[in-house]
Structure 1
């Protein structure tokens, strides 16, 4: 460059160029080439358009930063700037980036460094005059102005080397004073909330690893963006480094073991500060989230919707419960109605059976009385006890028929013989009827055996209940039990099962312990013979004996006679 002073030779500047800068230039060139290709396809651009790139726009942005930077430095005298540079230790202030601070970009740092290098770089000093050369020949010491410039340049170089290196800048930025204050809940209201917390969140956003950082917004911000903002800060990841609090310098380690120990101790200290920092950010998030008017309104809306859903759900359940209750009541009403009808039918049937029973007893009594009055004189075969036995086997129609015949019977042997023939005929008819019933009963039993019908627990329980309800001596006991069990089994089946139950009961009994054998033997002698099941013939003989020997007889005499009538049963068993 030639100026009034003459020709000045400028050596290449020793400013390191980051590989990122070269990559940015390549990307810009590729973008411009793509744009030019698109424009070429459209066929609307000239040759000058194909050669267009955005370097001019980039240059304008750079020039704008340069202009602002130069304007700011011109507002203060050069002497004051140099004095401040020597006095302060802030690297951003040394490069003139105090207004940017931690937000300064790599481009800002490089631009500021280049401008300062043009002024303070050692290669930029003017050529010395002959007198100065003589002075320099006398001594190698620098004049005060050069010393000041040298010190300033060293500070500029140190600031640049620190800020241009990501790791060094990270440690340096973390060591700078930082306002960690968080507003208390009494320091703001709904109106001032956005102003207070916007400043706090923006201040803390410089430590964010993940960028861009969402903004707090205002009362008009959609709730989705608000929730996204708080999700971001709930999972906030900070790059803030606390190595400035390290106790040991790793460069002073004598060996790798000492270095590992130092690193471990330094990590403990850093972890404590990191824990405190996380708690501080969590507290900031909590206070802001709990007091954000938009979140309050949103939560209130959600609460109302939840209450409305609960109300609708409760009403739906209530309606379903009422409907279910109505259906249950309807079903219960129908069931009660059916039960009532069944009970009425049973009661009606019971009354009819009772009437038939009373009618049969009346007719039987009348027949026995007529036989005692008119037939006994011709034959003792028709006395009271014999007629009672005959009446048991007769049907209601037969009893009525005999009553009518005996009533119409005249006097004399011929009339008796006629009636006797009728009685014998009735007996034979009943014998045939009984045999037919037995055949039917046998057939039914065989069918049951063929179907392999087994006794269930309910059948056994019903049988035990029937045996207790109709004990020995009950009239037509086995038929009554069969009827009680719903005629599912014949009288023979019931007798067989009763005998099996009795055998099981006897087999289940055990003697006492072996050490008490003598007592068991003594007691076994006095034990009575286990009660065996009663057959149908024994049951009928017992019923006949009970009627033949009334209660007016002495008890012992009466039961002895009854046991003789039965045959194989003792008085006690009877």
Structure 2
């Protein structure tokens, strides 16, 4: 009767069947890692024994090494969600049928429930350990994990390779750009060096052409005149090497005649009219034709021109500054033969005086073979002439820097228009000229410079500013100064000479 009661009740029978003599052990780690055949043998049998507790009657099989991966994943998904009907209520410590009261029965049920839950947890843990162990060491899943890892590693390696390739391409591009920049910089440097060399060569050629033209001008003795100096310096400043060389060639080829200087002046004027075009022999022939026509003019005009030239020459030798009214000397009208025999050497030109001033600075006292080196530097004077010129200027304590100004004050041509007007009104002035002796300076000198041309203070300020702005080597200097002051170029030049002679006289008196 007791057996019938237990087996006829489904719950009590499940509890009775749950305690059958079954093997609840699981394979070891060694069985799982020994070999694939041993794995499938041990774990397949173990899963079949535990499949009896499954609620569902459709339990998947573990399969073998050739089973497809979808079936394998379904198998493990099933066992990870495994539901067991196994009941551990049979054989509990307390039998509820023997309870005398309701409270005692309830207490027994609670105690039995605790024991049953504990056994169920142990059973679930055992099944979970079995599934984890099989999933970990399943050779099929291992191959799949290795394939996935190899794929991921391949993707990582590809990414690394692409990143390295990008970095390599970037470095190559930067290196290429750097090399191109260096090559470009080197080419530009070489081009600049070539351009500089060409520029230096052109400058040297231009310099030699200018030196050659000045040498030709000194040989023709036209550098000593203002017209010749302005013409040569003007073509040197405005022309190029070709035009300057053509002018020098034409000047050097002029025949040694009486009108050679005038032809040279006309040639310089023609060259300055178009300084970018070389002067040719046809122009020289035309100039010679014009000069021949001028020679055929009347004797009266020639005589008048010569008289005017002599008057201008005499006027340029006179001094125009009336600094000492009491110093009046008689100018001799006729030179004796003795005076002519002891005439001084060839006068020094402005160019030679400028070179002498620069050479004295360049070769100071104590320089070895100084006078010969100065002669080589100037080119048109020998050592004895240079020594005499320096000795002549030595008593006045002239320094190399101030030699140019003092000499310029002595050799600068001065306009004597006002003296000519005085000679016309007073004939006695023709024989007596007011001059300032250089060797015997006066004891006193005027404190303020003369102002014969009546420059206003504003014009004087503009005049001094323009002198500083426009250099003395500029051929059109006086024209620019006159435009700035509002006076004619001749008036500005006369004012300049007036001030130079005043301050020279003042220094001499001091």
* Same-fold call, TM cutoff 0.5: no
Higher relative contact order (Cα pairs below 8 Å, separated by 6+ residues): 2
TM-score, normalisation: structure 1 = 0.35
